[in-house]
Amino acid sequence: MRAGFTWLLVLPLVVAMARHVQLVIAPPSGLLTAIKRDDDQTRPQTEAAFRGPIVDRRGRPLAISTPGIQLFVDLVARREKHEYELDTEARRARFPEGVKPVTKQNLRLMDFALEVAHLFPELHMSPAEIEAVLHEADLKNRANGRETRYCRLGDVLHQTPSIVARQQFAKSTHLNRILLAGLHWKESEIRTISAPQSLRSLVGKTMPDKDGLKGRDGIEAKCNGRLSGTMGHRHDVVDSRGRRLEGSAAQPATDGRTVAMTLDLDLQEYATTELEEAVASCHAAGGRLMVLDVATGGLLSMVDVLAAPREGTWPDAPADGIRPRGGLVGRPRCISDVFEPGSTFKPIVWAIAVEEGVVQPSELIDAVPPGKEWWTSYGRRIRDVSGRGNLKWDEVLRYSKNACMAHVADRLSTTQLRDRVLDFGFGKRTRLVPRPEDPNNSEQNEPEARGLVPQSRNWNNFTQTSVSFGQNISVTAAQLLQGISILASGGELRPIHLVNPGPNFRPARIPVVSAATAQATIDAMVPLVQDTKHLRIQGVRAFGKSGTAQLPRSAKPEQGIKHGMYEDRYICSFIMGAPAEDPKVLVLCTIDDPDRYALERENLRHTGSYTAGPVAKKVLEAALGRLGVPREIANASNDAPVGIN
């Protein structure tokens, strides 16, 4: 009788429990439909999408995203908790079931800031600092007369297994939920720039956006469309306690795509070290260096160094306000700063003259006799470092003879020379950094300069002569490198680029001069390197051209100083490539404003072949090795340096 009565009591409980389990595990469709109609019983869920990585040409990361958590505090919940703790003893006695009544000792143990600082030491915040942040946020709310419920606590933390375990611990017991009332977190994205210092301004930075992170500048901004992922969305049907019953059809999160750059990290670091040492040894204001894969137009390295301010007064020295103490990060001077190229521009004019048929490589320029001064047909004096004369046209680049360049340029019409210079890409941006993928983003500024090619109406005899040896024209390092690369690639313009377009990419081939003219120009640049011991590369027939252009002087009317050129300050440059038979690599190096007199005191020369040349040679050797270009033993001519600048 007693057992039967017990079953009468237990059976309804068992049936109710079974029904409960059924409703939780497999609720009927009618119930789910009814719940879906209730907005309070559906919860939108989002799934974070990470930005794609930026990598170098060998797949090594320059910028990557990793999961993180952002701690934040519900100020309203904390205020209620604080008021609860400070209430009367009777109020304290009504603590939630299972928790002892609060004493002063318990209150100390339950101090929120102390617990958070202990639980998450990665915040690097003391309890006092946490309390100060919360107090300041609360005061700001009151001052603004509005209620901002949430306060961010510290920076985003990397989501390590240890932190995940502590998150679970923080919500694991009723006591912990009381101790840490108001503490919450959300999944976030951490963008880590692993690129070397010399590339960080190029890679760029990100900033928070409503859907995660977006690029603020550099490649991060220019390729934001490719790098950005698509957040996932899902609507869950939940029970009264927030437990998920069913999920509607969802759009899964899609991470951003990888952006591969053409740069080589190892070569970049080597080039940076060599350029920094050269800038220091030349007592210079800075230097720039670029390395190009001729076959593809991809840039293998781009370095921009500024030295710390030198002793004494150096007006008009290259500088960057973003990095006042020198260093590597700041304005990308290889594409933003222009300079007169000087003699490194001569191969361009040399090729134009041959292509237009006004001179042949073997022609003797007997109109320019030996001597360091020569007068043009309109009475302008041309000065030279070398006193050699009666040179053949294919010897002019070796001895860097300004007078010969001016004489042959006079055979060209002004239209011929100017139009051909424009064909080589001068006066327009190289688009080395890709165009913004979001044209409506006004924050994406264009850092690249166009350079300066005089307008047709301003192009006169004086201009024609000056441009023939690299004066009265301004270029960026990227423009000069691309211009010479046309000669190295058989007369075709292959636009240089930093972002790898993909495995099926075929570079554009825009004819500028004939292959015969291009190769003749390269051959004319070989003797300068092969006949100079400190520039020659063993086993490789290299070519090159130096330049030592005067540094521009800004006008200072209050001191009676007009705009002009310094007589003893220079932008020294050297462009070098190899092998001459089939160029694979091209290197351009500039040493900006070396201290001529300090070098002379050390019995060193200040010209481009002695300041920038050795750096270009070392980096070219390294680049040839990286690309696996074989070497052959080449016959060297005499080791005596010639009159080069």
How many angstroms separate the CA atoms of 201 and 219, rounded? 9
Q: Which phi and psi (to 5°) does residue 603 adopt?
A: 60, 40
For residue 639, what pLDDT band results from cuts at 50, 70 and 90? very low
Give the global pTM. 0.81
Structure tokens at 163: 């932190």
For residue 634, what pLDDT band results from cuts at 50, 70 and 90? very low
Domain at 265-438+445-626, CATH from 3.40.710.10, 3.40.50.2300, 3.40.50.10800, 3.40.50.720? 3.40.710.10
Give the SS3 label for residue 369: coil
Strand order from edge to edge, sheet including 42-47: 42-47, 232-238, 244-247
Over residues 583-602, the mean pLDDT reads 96
How many angstroms separate the CA atoms of 51 and 63, rounded? 10
Strand-pairing partners, residue 209, are 212
How many angstroms separate the CA atoms of 535 and 529, rounded? 5
How many angstroms separate the CA atoms of 187 and 594, rounded? 51
How many angstroms separate the CA atoms of 629 and 412, rounded? 39
pLDDT digits (tens, 9 = 90+) for 457-482: 999 999 999 999 999 999 999 999 99
Looking at 22-36, 277-291, 315-329, which range is the least confident one? 22-36
Provide the pLDDT for residue 247. Answer: 57
Element (H, E) at 199: none
Spatial contact of 296 and 262, defined as CB atoms under 8 Å apart: yes
Q: In Å, how far are 248, 279, 284, 604, 645 from 597, measured between CA atoms?
A: 77, 15, 11, 9, 17
pLDDT digits (tens, 9 = 90+) for 289-318: 999 999 999 999 999 999 988 888 899 998
Q: How far is CA 401 from the centre of its chain?
A: 39
Q: Give the Cα-Cα-Cα angle 520, 524, 528 (nearest 5 degrees).
A: 160
Class of domain 44-260 (CATH, top level): alpha beta
Residue whose entry in the numeric block shows the structure tokens 């003879």: 401
pLDDT digits (tens, 9 = 90+) for 415-424: 999 999 999 9
Q: Which among 592, 589, 551 has a CA at the least distance from the CA of 306?
A: 592
Residues of the chain with CATH 3.40.710.10: 265-438+445-626
Asked if the model's pLDDT at residue 642 lies above 60, the reply is no
pLDDT digits (tens, 9 = 90+) for 80-112: 666 655 554 444 454 444 444 445 444 444 477
Over residues 331-344, the mean pLDDT reads 93
Q: Which phi and psi (to 5°) does residue 260 adopt?
A: -100, 125
Residues of the chain with CATH 3.90.1310.10: 44-260
Q: In Å, how far are 318, 346, 447 from 552, measured between CA atoms?
A: 10, 19, 21
Q: Which phi and psi (to 5°) does residue 75 adopt?
A: -65, -35
Spatial contact of 517 and 357, defined as CB atoms under 8 Å apart: no
Provide the pLDDT for residue 119. Answer: 87
